[in-house]
Amino acid sequence: MSQPIAKIPDTAQTWSGARSRIAQRQMQIAAEPRERRAEAFKELAQLASNFVREGLISEVEARETLEDVSERVGLVEDTTEGVVAIIINEAMRRAHALLDPERRHDAACEKKAAFIERRHGLRHDAVRRFAAPRAVNGGSAEKQTVLEFSCMADIAPRQIEWIWPGRIARGKLTLLIGDPGVGKSQISLDMAATVTNKRRWTDDGSAPPGSVILLSAEDSADDTLRPRLEAADADLHKVHVLQSVLSDHGRSIFSLQTDLDALGKKIEELGDVSLVIIDPITSYMGGKIDSHRTTDVRSVLEPLALFASKHNVAVLGITHPPKAAQTKAIHSATGSLAYIAAARLAFLAIEEPGTDRRLFLPIKNNLGALAPGLGFRLQQTIVTGNIVASHVMWDCAPVTMTANEVLAATGEGKSVSICEALDFLREELAEGPRPAKEIKEAAKCAGVAWRTVQRAQKQLQIKPSKNGLAGGWSWALPPEGRQHVPD
């Protein structure tokens, strides 16, 4: 008589640990007599489903492993392929149960889902699709995915609604990039003044009247925004600045991941909003977002673009350039290239080489031809309360340089210092170990030379570690490296 399968722990802490547990159970199944293999295989399926729930392996990996095991031990020959499929599907359904969207309010479930999102690089909606119940062995599913299509012949063509022709359009996301102090915030407030006071734009055309919503994480409403708006001659009754987000948990910072619906209600309440300014957009991306990862950035900006279209408002996002000098304007936004890609229009605010003038230059326009560049200066004036405030004064002199040409001229001789590379690594590894490939990709997006990153790695005493034979290299800050950097 054969001995029962020895007890193998049903828990693991890492991917390699989960794979090791499955391999041990697989060898024991092969050693079992044929009459016990089906029962032993069910136990292996249960183990695999546990690891899927824990986020240690993906569903695809679990299914492939179980199917491979069933073939190797001859399980299909002893039973039927349909029975094997039922066992695997039932195991996966048990894994789905913990991640059902209707139970995401449960704290433990939310934690599991968030872990799977980080572990496998899935967006929030992708985890929901992964968690949805599926059909079992050809049966009907409890929930079904329906694809909605429209025939192009049934879609009525619609013209782009320009607020500022060639620059700001309703229903579209626009990006404005510039170094601190160059005047990008003043440009956005000049746009707000033009919209709220129905003024003519500096180059051509009049702004359609409307209200403006302003989200500003860097400037105070009372001593900076209000004086600057007054200096720009804005209608202050039509500019609404967000102060905070109130909920049952108290006050919090606005998040593009969770608070768009509330912002939409404010837009509907006002009824005439033309422009929403987000300054800087990186401050409102929400938690657990890596700005250097394309999937993370797209998971936030794609819903924002849909939001702009739904409410027919122009959204202007303001951001900073990367630390390293760039020679191509398309790479001038900090973080992932997804920032530029998601925006339909993008502009660069930068100092003109050899003059005291500043430039407002087009980078991209997916809706038409690039608008000509504009020159401007910042001028100070006295407003209410004897307060000195700056505002934009547009220059009528033509601009002859493109954004690429200006960046090439101003970027000569500039490079990222070792101190900036040290800060880059501390930020990237602040929440724990990261794959070396991800660090290298983030450095590329941030404009930090890999050789400089490697020098910073040595100074921080980061020793790469390998997670099993099949795993890649990972970097992590040593405990002392989080507090002290050797001279």
Q: What is the DSSP code (8-state) at residue 173?
A: E
Give the closest residue to 347 by CA, choosing from 407, 403, 391: 403
Give the closest residue to 167 by CA, choosing from 312, 369, 359, 349: 369
85 lies in the same domain as 207: no
253 lies in the same domain as 392: yes
Q: What is the pLDDT of residues 202-247, one digit of tens each?
A: 987 889 999 999 999 989 999 999 999 999 999 999 999 999 898 8
44/28 Cα distance (integer angstroms): 10
213/264 Cα distance (integer angstroms): 11
- Domain tally for the chain? 3
149/146 Cα distance (integer angstroms): 10
Q: What is the CATH number of the domain that holds 271?
A: 3.40.50.300
156 part of a folded domain: no
The pLDDT-based confidence of 182 (bands split at 50, 70, 90) is very high
What is residue 486's predicted lDDT score, i.e. its pLDDT?
37
Question: 3-state secondary structure string, 179-226?
Answer: CCCCCHHHHHHHHHHHHHCCCECCCCCECCCCEEEEEECCCCHHHHHH
The pLDDT-based confidence of 189 (bands split at 50, 70, 90) is very high
406 lies in the same domain as 427: no
Largest CA distance in the chain: 97
What is residue 142's predicted lDDT score, i.e. its pLDDT?
52
92 part of a folded domain: yes
Question: What's the average model confidence in pLDDT over 176-203?
Answer: 94
201 lies in the same domain as 322: yes
What is residue 224's predicted lDDT score, i.e. its pLDDT?
95
Whether the predicted pLDDT of 25 surpasses 70 = yes
The rounded mean pLDDT for the chain is: 81
Q: What is the pLDDT of residues 126-152, one digit of tens each?
A: 444 444 444 444 444 455 788 889 899
207/170 Cα distance (integer angstroms): 12
4 part of a folded domain: no
What is residue 422's predicted lDDT score, i.e. its pLDDT?
83
CA angle, 169 as apex, 163 and 174 as ends, to 5°? 120
Whether the predicted pLDDT of 99 surpasses 80 = no
- Residue 399, judged by CB atoms within 10 A of its CB (0-12, 13-18, 19+), counts as middle
What is residue 80's predicted lDDT score, i.e. its pLDDT?
52
Which residues form the domain of 352? 162-410
Q: What is the pLDDT of residues 318-371, one digit of tens each?
A: 999 887 777 789 988 888 889 999 999 999 999 998 899 999 999 999 999 999
220 lies in the same domain as 111: no
88 lies in the same domain as 184: no
239 part of a folded domain: yes
More confident residue, 316 or 10: 316
Question: What's the average model confidence in pLDDT over 91-111?
Answer: 53
End-of-domain residue from the set 358, 378, 410: 410
Give the pairing type, strands 250-252 and 245-247. Answer: antiparallel
324 lies in the same domain as 387: yes
- Residue 394, judged by CB atoms within 10 A of its CB (0-12, 13-18, 19+), counts as middle
Adjacency order of strands within the sheet including 374-383: 239-241, 211-216, 273-279, 314-319, 173-178, 345-351, 358-365, 374-383, 387-395
Q: What is the CATH number of the domain that holds 471?
A: 1.10.10
Whole-model pTM: value is 0.60
End-of-domain residue from the set 389, 410, 431: 410
20 part of a folded domain: yes
Whether the predicted pLDDT of 440 surpasses 70 = yes
455 lies in the same domain as 374: no
149 part of a folded domain: no
104 lies in the same domain as 205: no
With the C-alpha atoms ordered 220, 222, 226, 231, is the resulting torsion angle positive or negative?
negative
AA letter at 453: V
